[in-house]
Amino acid sequence: MKMNRRIGILSLAVGILAAGMVGAPGPARADVVWDHWKQADSLQASGNSKAAVPHWIYLADYYASAGDWENAALFSGKLDKYFDDIGDYDQAIRYYEQENQYWVNAGKDWGAVKLQRADQIRTTVELYREENSETIVQERTSPDGTRLAKFEPAYGTYLGMYSEQDPKVGNTFTKMQSVYGKKHAIYLAYAHWGQGFPSTYAKRAKDAGGALQIAWEPDNGLDPVTDGAYLRSWAKEAKAAGIPIFLRFAGEMNGAWVKWHGNPAQYIAKFRMLHDVFAADAPNVAMVWSPGDVPANDIDPYYPGDAYVDWVGVSLYIEPYENGDSSLPSMLATSNVERLTRLYNTYADRKPLMLSETGVPHYSHSAGEDYTEWAKLNLQRLYEIMPYKYPRLKAITYFNVDQQMNNAKNDYSLSTSSDIQGYYSKLIANPYLLSEVKDGAKPADHVGYVPIDAKHQSFTKQTRIIPFIKIPQVYIGKVEYLLNGRVIASQTSLPYGIDFKAGEVPEGSVLQLRIMNTSGQQVALRTFGISSQVSVNINGAVQQFEQAPVIVNGSTFTPLRAIFEAMGAKVDYDASTRSVTATKGSTTVKLTLDQRTVYVNGKSLELEEPARLVNGYTLAPARFVGETFGGNVNWDGATRTVSITSK
């Protein structure tokens, strides 16, 4: 369960300040370096930090070249603070990252807080869109050349919740759909070593058609965790539950706040032992290794190994104030998206990931402040951006609790605010968020998501575009969408996103997002290439081609062989004459590439445009291809779709 486990900014800052108390060059070194140091100190003391900047740059570079990493970090720290204070965020980010690197070179981890601040002030504008091709989607969501992990969906993200303290749901999981509009796939329960298997929770999860995540905690440390009658009985009951179980044993082991922290070798041995027991006695159990996202530097030593881990999880929370302490600097600029990056980059190519626990508060009890709009911003990031940006993130379990004045003193509850409850229900209606755990699960609509980048610019029929926007000022005033230089939509309220039909987006289009802060000032403008492609339906089924249809001189060209064969024709190609012969029943068609004249049962007819090779594939006018063997051909300009219906 969520605890006070964050590394406080204040404590890190104190450590950095102490480390910065490095002696200046003594009298014997009264040279140009000392002169720069004295001048910088004098200018800063007089309130003219701007004039001190060249001196700090000189000193940071000098000490870095000399291998004096602590002094190099100290002066980099003066630079990043100055640029942050004046709002020159690009320069501030540069020096925050430089300062962190110098602390790393010095063997210190004191730069972690500086990287956190760099992420807070980094402007991010990314776009994600719907993709109807499972092949394209699964290129990003499935492991290369390996089978899916136990209970892993082919694509999509399992929807999970800890609801025990939700007054509208509690442990009656069958209420989930009536309260939030959708059945959830995973329900979270807590268990303790030495106590019985949580059979009541398992039964209620089964009644709701769901799986169970069990956070199994050895409250007295790892020594009592042994293979014996207790463990075997527990495993037997887990198997008898008859549902998928995600077993999160001794989570957040990288944090000093738990009793099972401090001995990675012992932890690994215990985890491996449990894996072997459940593999033998309860194959319906998937082992989840789940650290906290902080402290990041202590995560990897606890990894039990690929052979013993089915899923990699993480406890990841954001909050207005570190540990609910409103006397510390605001954490509102921290996004949940970046918090996953390090763990994802380390483990996603090996295991599917889940957010074992996560939450976004809409109220801070310690400060007595409402954060509904901030919560909405980050709930969209949690349920739309993170699954699209991190396609191997295959499960999200929400910690649905109002902590009152306990722990971080935040209200993470979804149902204590009708506004948040309705907003959450709207977000999770997306079929990409899955309601049932099963091997190879997929969204009911077979729609996935990809980033709009050089590889994924083109879409067919229609698409929805979801932006990930993060600005140093946190709150966004307005988002404008410009297509080929013209403003086509603007949004001032969450959630952000826009729908396009293919006919609205010609090939080679340019989509821009203009971002304003709440003062109406433009703070970002990002440009993306985007195009639509012609799609083909044959008897209602969408066709997938290695070579997409194209527009040539105003005519729609479609792959000839693929469509002819889909309509039941036999196709032969003679490379020596560059001619194609297709036969179906009593009809024979012959054509030659780049010639307008074609022959149907020996009778000639003229095409407006001849068939031609495109990237090694024969393409011909769509109407000719569709009607040759008796099909009816229709064109939908709004979605740029050719529909062929066999007679």
Active site residues: 252, 357
At residue 382, what are phi and psi to the nearest 5 degrees? -65, -45
Cis peptide before 495 (omega within 30 of 0): yes
Interacting residues of 392 by C-beta distance below 8 A, sequence separation 6+: 141, 143, 344, 348, 349, 352, 353
Interacting residues of 451 by C-beta distance below 8 A, sequence separation 6+: 126, 127, 128, 129, 388, 389
Alpha carbon 647 to chain centroid distance? 46
Beta strands in 119-165 (DSSP E): 124-131, 157-162
* Cβ neighbours, 10 Å, residue 578: 15
If phi > 0 it is left, if psi is from -120 to 50 it is alpha, else beta; for residue 452 that is beta
Helix or strand (DSSP H, E) at 491: strand 486-491
Among 229, 230, 226, smallest CA distance to 194 is for 230
Q: How far is CA 564 from CA 375, 406, 409, 598, 626, in A?
A: 53, 68, 66, 15, 8
Question: Rounded distance, CA 161 to CA 591, Å?
Answer: 61
Largest Cα separation within the chain, whole Å, is: 103
Residue 132 structure tokens: 């109807």
One-letter amino acid for residue 563 of the chain? I
One-letter amino acid for residue 3 of the chain? M
Alpha carbon 72 to chain centroid distance? 35
Strands 448-451 and 509-517: unpaired
- Contact in structure between 427 and 495 (CB atoms under 8 Å): yes
Strands 579-584 and 587-592: antiparallel
Residue with tokens 């593999």: 279
Interacting residues of 293 by C-beta distance below 8 A, sequence separation 6+: 314, 315, 316, 339, 340, 342, 343
Question: Rounded distance, CA 497 to CA 486, Å?
Answer: 17
Question: Rounded distance, CA 396 to CA 15, Å?
Answer: 35
DSSP 8-state code for residue 642: E
Residue 554 structure tokens: 């105003």
Strands 211-217 and 186-192: parallel
DSSP 8-state code for residue 382: I
Q: What three-state secondary structure class fits 585?
A: coil
* Cβ neighbours, 10 Å, residue 5: 20
DSSP 8-state code for residue 213: E
Beta strands in 253-400 (DSSP E): 285-289, 311-317, 353-359, 363-364, 369-370, 393-399
Question: Rounded distance, CA 191 to CA 214, Å?
Answer: 7
At residue 122, what are phi and psi to the nearest 5 degrees? -80, 125
At residue 463, what are phi and psi to the nearest 5 degrees? -155, 160
